[in-house]
Amino acid sequence: MILADTDILARLGDGDLVIDPLADVDTQVQPASVDLRLGLEFLEFRRTNIPCIHPNDEREVDEYVTETHVPEGDDFILHPGDFVLGTTKERVEIPDDLVAHVEGRSSLGRLAIVVHATAGLCDPGYRGQITLELSNLGNAPVALSPGMRVSQLTFTELRSPADRPYGSERGSKYQGQSGPQASRIGDDPEFLGSGAAEDADGTAVE
């Protein structure tokens, strides 16, 4: 079941679903979704002459991106063909019996702005800001203003709560993230060795 506005407001009121700060409830809560605003931080991908990026090489991944902070009142210009990581201004907490879907706003889609490439899911148990995979598929630069409504979340109720929700018990890589986070795919078990990789306390890394 997809939650309607009355369901969303009820879950927010109960406190098990958290969206903070929710600055303008009347504007941000839509009939079956919640609009989220654009944060101040961006990770830009540098032009590079290296043959390729190895996902399991953290040094290469870190050297491939550079952080940009846009002051309040300024714009981030997203040029045609560019791909950057942004973040939501809001921090979310998803309860164990819901899954949230990150969607783009139609008004930005009509300007050829895409807000996620593949990562359109917030698992049950996820807590933190949401990294947005922003790209410009059009022919003209588009100014993105921190604080503007840039994406929306829809919520689907699970038939039963997740038995192993996203979080520290799973060794989830992006739990509690603040600001846009570069790929941590190098922490995946298939890159760390055969079998289920474990971190220092013996927790499986996922």
Catalytic residues, by residue number, are: 133
**Residue 89 counted as an annotated binding residue:** no
**Residue 173 counted as an annotated binding residue:** yes
**Residue 106 counted as an annotated binding residue:** yes
**Closest listed residue to residue 85, CA positions, set 132, 38, 129:** 132
**Residue 152 counted as an annotated binding residue:** yes
Coil, strand, or helix at residue 181? coil
Q: 69 forms bridges with which residues in the sheet?
A: 41
Q: 37 forms bridges with which residues in the sheet?
A: 149
For residues 74 and 40, give the distance between their C-alpha atoms in angstroms, rounded to a whole number.
Answer: 10
For residues 129 and 126, give the distance between their C-alpha atoms in angstroms, rounded to a whole number.
Answer: 9
**Residue 167 counted as an annotated binding residue:** no
**Closest listed residue to residue 152, CA positions, set 106, 85, 86:** 106
Burial of 15 (0-12, 13-18, 19+ CB in 10 A): exposed
**Residue 160 counted as an annotated binding residue:** no
**Residue 166 counted as an annotated binding residue:** yes
**Residue 105 counted as an annotated binding residue:** yes
**Residue 28 counted as an annotated binding residue:** no
Coil, strand, or helix at residue 32? coil
* Binding site, annotated residues for dCTP: 105-110, 123, 131-133, 152, 166, 173, 177
* Binding site, annotated residues: 105-110, 123, 131-133, 152, 166, 173, 177
